[in-house]
Amino acid sequence: MEPGPYAIVILGASGDLAKRKLIPALLRLCEDGLLEPSTVIIGSGRNAISEEIFRAMFDVSVQFASRLFYHQGISGLKTYIANKGNFSKVIVFFALPPQVYSERAAELAKDGFGPETSIIIEKPFGADYTSSVELNRRLTEHFEESSIFRIDHYLAKEAVQNILVFRFANPLFFPVWDNHYIESIQINASETQGVVNRGSYFDSAGILRDMVQNHLMQLLCLTTMEPPLSLESEDIVARKIELLRCVSIEECHRFQYEGYRGEKDVDAHSTTETFAELKLGINNFRWAGVPIYMRCGKALERNGTEIAVRFKPFPGGLFEKQGPISRNTIIFMIQPNAGIIVSIVGKEIGREINLVNTNMRFCYDEHRLGEKAREIPEAYQKLLLDAVLGNHTLFVTAHETELSWKVIGDFLDKGEVATYPFGKDPPTRLGVEWIDFENYYSSCS
């Protein structure tokens, strides 16, 4: 497909996001022929720089660099774009601090950008329920909700998109996806690094705002929502909204790694959490009584994002004499190695009936299509192309963000903040046996 011709604008084009993610993603889309040849990419920022200097900021081909232009500020930007060609649509990416989103949206409207314009914004979408509602209200004063694309880059990961396929394209698993068979669900997101150079932002947010409200809630929705009527974005969003209305947090424990208060741009007396552990429930017929456990944080023992669906023990106990029987478990591995592991019990080779655990696996690195290994698209390639095409499936609506803030609202900045050593996982306070996900990565490494 060749959408366009479009003009793609990056506000804050001299920043790190444009250099590391946006321009490389647009370069790949152009190389793959997914953007119409007359599409232009216009950077905008506060500084007055020439187009030659702007083009030299990026490691791109001469042919691609010829698509790059630069305009200082927003005032006059609409006229500048019109002078470059007759574009059917303008896509504006806000590579900016979230606190200026509504102000920049108002400036775009004042400069003449209207129904032909779509805007793309990054999380966080507010800092709590009240500020989220206010942000959405101010954005929709200038642009229709259908023209606003809120990025949650987890939704663009191949392994995340495959959750719906696994659930709704395989009748093998669909009948057992409820509280009659499933004992619990675990969602884990661990990082070994601390806050690095994001101290100023992170200290005002914390891990609940930075990860739980958006990424982990979206993973929960895809894992537990009802089947959508179709794959249209409206039907998928409707099911996620239904699910979020039923979610509640039963326990939340906050932690902070030792040395965090000494990080650059962090308050010396900060009580911001860098790790959180939660127990949630879903009050509907499918999931009532099934505990949902979440944990995520920084400065931990390992890097990894996973979802585990653990099944109840088999009734009857035919093989109890052989010792404890491991629970069947399905592991959705999101990163660093993407794949799906189904852990089952089998018989060890030999005359005796000795039970052994074994894994059935689907690993992305082993199942790429085509004559040569097919590269897994980087998240921003997929998200930018979908925004250009007007496809909201992998983006988050205003209603979803507000409901997610409602779910965690009573636990933001509340309660004790315990400490843990840098590089060590805090001991659980939920009484749950956390799955050792690292054992499964050897199956897809």
- What residues are annotated to the active site? 215
d(CA 400, CA 149): 13
What is the amino acid identity at position 71? H
CB atoms within 10 A of CB 83: 7
d(CA 306, CA 107): 41
The gap between the terminal CA atoms of the chain, to the nearest Å, is: 34
Question: Are residues 33 and 2 in contact, defined by beta-carbon separation less than 8 angstroms?
Answer: yes
Burial 112-143 (b: 16+ CB within 10 A, else e): ebeeebbbbbbbbbbbbbeebeebbeebeebb
Name the H helices within 231-351: 233-244
Question: Are residues 66 and 41 in contact, defined by beta-carbon separation less than 8 angstroms?
Answer: no
What is the amino acid identity at position 116? E
> Token pair 């400065």 is at which residue?
299
Distance set, CA 128 to CA 145, 156, 399, 415, 423 (Å): 20, 24, 13, 17, 29
Q: Which residues contact 326 (CB under 8 A, 6 or more apart)?
A: 343, 345, 357
Question: Are residues 305 and 211 in contact, defined by beta-carbon separation less than 8 angstroms?
Answer: no
d(CA 1, CA 27): 16
CA angle 426, 430, 431 (to 5 degrees): 100
Nearest one of 357, 363, 376 to 445, comparing CA atoms: 363
Distance set, CA 285 to CA 175, 226, 268, 430 (Å): 14, 11, 47, 24
Residue 319, phi then psi, degrees to nearest 5: -115, 20
Name the H helices within 187-302: 199-205, 207, 217-224, 233-244
Question: Are residues 297 and 274 in contact, defined by beta-carbon separation less than 8 angstroms?
Answer: yes
